[in-house]
């Protein structure tokens, strides 16, 4: 699975990204890719990903982002509490639900 994390500038999501990589490695999740980007750039890279997760601080941009991928990919907002401490257990659960796995 390929996950794209989007926040305002790609800064705070990069913290979550690192934690998710460590988590995937520790749990032996294969074929997992994740990267972080800012809303300004997400259109350029969105094609390469299966699912898009937003930081809660840009929840108000969700419609815009759904439109940006023409509704072709699942887009969701990470829960604030999970986002704060990068609770990967919950975030991976969310990804799996979105992908219907």
Partner 1 sequence: MEALQNFLQKWLMPIAAKIEKQQHLQAIKDGMIGATPFIIVGSMCLLPMAFMNLIGSGPVYDFLGVVNPFFTTIAAKTTDFVAIYACYLIARSLAKRYDIDNTMLAISSVAVLFILTGVDVKDGIATTYFGSSGLFTSMIAAILTVEIARVLVKYNVVIKLPDSVPDMVSESFSALIPIFFACAAASGIALASTNLGGAAFPALIMNLLAPAISSMDTLPALLIVIFLTQLLWFFGLHGPSITQVAWAPFAIAYATENAANYAAGQAVTHVFTYGFYFNVLQVTGSGLTLGLVIFMLLSKSQTYKAIGKAAIVPSIFGINEPVIFGAPILLNPFMFIPFVFGPLVCTVISWFAFATGLVGMPITAPPGFMPPGVGAYLMTLDWRAPVLVVVLLVIMAAIYYPFFKLMEKEQLETEAADEATAASK
Positions touching partner 1 (CB under 8 A) are 7-9, 11-12, 15, 39-40, 43, 55-61, 63-64, 80-81, 83-86
Please identify, using beta-carbon distances, which residue of 47 and 99 lies nearer to partner 1. Answer: 47
- Find the shortest distance in angstroms from Cβ 99 to partner 1: 24
Please identify, using beta-carbon distances, which residue of 1 and 36 lies nearer to partner 1. Answer: 36
Dig out the tokens for 11 from the structure: 């800064």
Report the distance separating Cα 76 and Cα 87, nearest Å. Answer: 16
Please identify, using beta-carbon distances, which residue of 1 and 78 lies nearer to partner 1. Answer: 78
- Find the shortest distance in angstroms from Cβ 42 to partner 1: 11
- Give the residue numbers annotated as catalytic, written as ranges: 7
Q: List, in sequence order, every beta strand (DSSP E) within 18-99.
A: 33-38, 51-54, 75-77
Report the distance separating Cα 12 and Cα 84, nearest Å. Answer: 9
Contact 20, 3 (CB under 8 A): yes
């Amino acid at each position: 699975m390929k996950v794209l994390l989007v926040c305002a500038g790609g800064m705070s999501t990069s913290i979550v990204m690192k934690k998710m990589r460590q988590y995937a490695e520790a749990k032996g999740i294969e074929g997992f890719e994740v990267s972080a980007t800012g809303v300004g750039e997400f259109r350029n890279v969105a094609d390469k990903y299966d699912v898009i997760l937003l930081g809660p601080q840009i929840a108000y941009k969700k419609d815009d982002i759904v439109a940006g991928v023409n509704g072709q990919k699942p887009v969701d907002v990470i829960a604030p509490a999970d986002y704060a401490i990068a609770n990967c257990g919950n975030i991976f659960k969310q990804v799996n639900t979105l992908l219907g796995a």
